[in-house]
Amino acid sequence: MGANVDLSVRIGNGTLANPVGVASGTFGYGGEYEGLVDFSDIGAIYTKAVTLEPRGGNAPPRLVETPSGILNSIGLANVGVEKFISDKLPYLRTLPCAVVVNVAGASEDEYRRVVERLESGCLDSVDTNGSGIFGYEVNVSCPNVHHGGLAFGTDPAQVERLTSSLRELTKRPLIIKLTPNVTDIAVVAKAAEAGGADAVSLINTLVGMVIDVKTRKPVLGAKTGGLSGPAVRPVGVALTCKARRAVSIPIIGMGGISCADDALQYILAGASAVQIGTANFVNPKTAGLVSSGIREYCIGNGISSLKEICGVAVD
């Protein structure tokens, strides 16, 4: 009976069989979760951001718990594109889930060079079955770096320019990851769509600060960080609804999802797919549980395709 529910999601020229992915920065490059999860339960792994050169990241401490959430200031620590190709991609290619490479850069040129290197170095065709890379998630929303990241994502003109520049380089699904730290996310989502994005993903984290009253200093080495976890879910759901009204490309919703009902809120607000982030640190199997919970909800409510309920709470 479960097999009759269509959970597939079309993104550009690719199809995800399962709408529930794991968010960039919460799942490493997949291997970190070997033995802890069944990768066939996951729709897509969105890798940790990949930049042109390796990055050490920000000064510690980089993580602090907050009420119903965490604040991180990782600073895009990653192995760089060459090591990603030589050390991480071979493993990722063996997995039975889609792989979306999260790409970051301090300049338009850097984003371009990462995508160019991935396109020329190792990829053969659009791939949804695990032997290659499904597509790219372009990180224009990291709040923890001085160049690129948020500085790109708060400027709609720059988002459109960067998107169309990357569009020239690849036919693979191109997803632009948006920040909630803007006055109007609809304007930025429209800019991504105008630039040729196949989807937008939202929300990245909200800028926050925690101060230790004993030391009278911010707890995080970088002083501010990005807030994620259940505390931000109502923000993510509201911004999904706002983006839904602004664009016709698919929306991938995230922010505080830890169970099927949380994910369904995003879907009812207009998301076609979702990502699990902070909840992976609590239970690495969350994506699989959310996915099967969505299937059960559909069966229990006579829904044969997830598309039937996408956006119905707000359309």
- Would you give the binding string for ligand SIN spanning residues 182-221, x where CB under 6 A is met? ----------------------xx----------------
Minimum CB separation from ligand SIN for residue 243, in Å?
A: 18
| Minimum CB–partner distance for residue 102 and ligand SIN (Å) | 8
User: How far is 218 from 212, CA to CA, in rounded Å?
Assistant: 6
Binding mask 39-68 for ligand SIN (x = CB under 6 A): ----------x-------------------
- Cα–Cα distance between 189 and 176 in angstroms, integer? 8
Q: Which of 298, 296, 256, 297 is nearest to 276 (CA)?
A: 256
CA distance 180 to 236: 8
Question: Which letter, b or e, does each residue of 181-195 get, where b requires 16 or more Cβ atoms within 10 Å of its Cβ?
Answer: bbeebbebbbbbbeb
Q: Is 142 a catalytic residue?
A: yes
Q: According to the binding rule CB under 6 A, does residue 142 interact with ligand SIN?
A: yes
State the minimum distance, in angstroms, from the CB of residue 314 to ligand SIN: 26
Distance, in Å, from the CA atom of 200 to the CA atom of 163, rounded to the nearest integer, reads 11
Choice between 148 and 250, CB closer to ligand SIN: 148
Minimum distance from CB of 71 to ligand SIN (Å)? 11
Under rule CB under 6 A, residue 280 binds ligand SIN: no
Nearest to 267 by CA among 288, 245, 294: 294
Spatial separation of the C-alpha atoms in residues 49 and 215, rounded to whole Å: 33
Binding mask of the shown chain, residues 4 to 43, with x at each position contacting ligand SIN by CB under 6 A: ---------------------x------------------
Which runs of consecutive H residues, i.e. helices, occur in 79-232? 81-83, 89-92, 108-121, 150-153, 156-167, 185-194
Indicate which residue of 142, 241, 298, 310 is catalytic: 142
**Residues 51, 144, 201, 286: which binds ligand SIN (CB under 6 A)?**
144
Distance, CA of 249 to CA of 31 (rounded, Å): 31
Interface residues with ligand SIN (CB under 6 A) are 25, 49, 72, 74-76, 139, 141-144, 204-205, 226
Active-site residues, by number, are 142
